[in-house]
């Protein structure tokens, strides 16, 4: 479990290091990385999470309701985060203050995505692959603002700790155990919304792109094999 926490936190710092070391500026390459992460997250959700929550056939409709709640919740979170969960941040570069709504929305998203980690094989890898490009985009955005570097470091550290916090709450708060399937279904809704949005939006003009198709197929096959 300590390894799960460590890897989850490390994914944010890997994304941050990529920005400092490589200074990525090629939007096409970043879109392909986002497409891979979106396809991988979607495949893990379909292959691992969905079968798990639908094991109880008597509660299938209730599970579907919670998945829809997750989709709608993510839509609300994106209203405040401006789509940062799937690679889009639209705030003024002249800002000197922490974008509080962005940070709170991202934290809620990150806490919830940490819930299924300790019970569902493969989902940690999906989350890590999802978080690295988001960390790249978030770090790039913050460094281009007028926010103090020390404040940026605190923001990134806080964000990095949120997913492990969700995992810790899920594992140690017994009062939530009886709602575990419902929370997982809600998280599935969040993942479905985020991953499909990434896949649709990472294709400029919604044109056929053989490179993107190969990236998506590769992510899907890898997710299936894990």
The percentage of residues in the chain with a pLDDT greater than 70, rounded to a whole number, is 91
155 and 98 Cβ atoms separated by less than 8 Å: yes
What is the distance between the alpha carbons of residues 107 and 173, in angstroms, rounded to a whole number? 19
What is the distance between the alpha carbons of residues 104 and 181, in angstroms, rounded to a whole number? 25
The DSSP symbol for 178 reads G
pLDDT exceeds cutoff 70 at 222: yes
The DSSP symbol for 11 reads H
pLDDT exceeds cutoff 90 at 156: yes
Q: What is the pLDDT of residue 44?
A: 93
Q: Which two tokens stand for residue 112?
A: 């919830």
pLDDT band at 91 (very low <50, low <70, confident <90, very high): low
pLDDT in tens, 24-54: 766 677 888 888 999 999 999 999 899 888 8
More confident call, 167 vs 206: 167
Please report, to the nearest 10 degrees, the dihedral formed by the alpha carbons of residues 33, 35, 38, 42 taken in order: -130
pLDDT band at 55 (very low <50, low <70, confident <90, very high): confident
- Please give the model's pTM, rounded to 2 decimal places: 0.88
> Which phi and psi angles does 207 have, rounded to 5°?
-90, 155
- Three-class DSSP category at 95: coil
86 and 198 Cβ atoms separated by less than 8 Å: yes
On the CB side of 157, how many CA atoms lie within 13 Å of its CA? Answer: 6
Residue written as token pair 């594992």: 171
Q: What is the pLDDT of residue 165?
A: 94
pLDDT band at 75 (very low <50, low <70, confident <90, very high): very high
pLDDT band at 98 (very low <50, low <70, confident <90, very high): confident
Q: What is the pLDDT of residue 96?
A: 78
């Amino acid at each position: 479990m300590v390894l799960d926490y460590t890897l989850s936190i490390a994914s944010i710092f890997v994304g941050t290091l990529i920005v400092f070391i490589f200074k990525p500026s090629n939007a096409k390459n970043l879109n392909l990385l986002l497409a891979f992460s979106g396809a991988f997250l979607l495949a893990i959700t379909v292959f691992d999470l969905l079968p798990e929550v639908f094991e109880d056939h008597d509660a299938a409709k209730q599970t579907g309701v919670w998945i829809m709640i997750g989709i709608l919740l993510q839509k609300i979170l994106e209203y405040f985060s401006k789509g940062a969960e799937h690679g889009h941040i639209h705030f003024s570069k002249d800002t000197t203050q922490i974008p509080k709504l962005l940070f709170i929305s991202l934290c809620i998203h990150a806490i919830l995505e940490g819930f299924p980690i300790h019970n569902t094989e493969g989902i940690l890898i999906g989350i890590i692959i999802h978080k690295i490009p988001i960390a790249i985009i978030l770090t790039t955005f913050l460094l281009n603002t007028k926010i103090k570097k020390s404040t940026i470091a605190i923001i990134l550290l806080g964000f990095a700790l949120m997913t492990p916090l969700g995992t810790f709450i899920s594992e140690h708060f017994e009062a939530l155990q009886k709602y575990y399937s419902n929370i997982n279904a809600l998280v599935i809704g969040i993942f479905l919304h985020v991953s499909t949005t990434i896949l649709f939006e990472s294709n400029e003009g919604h044109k056929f792109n053989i490179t993107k198709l190969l990236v998506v197929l590769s992510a899907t096959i890898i997710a299936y094999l894990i």
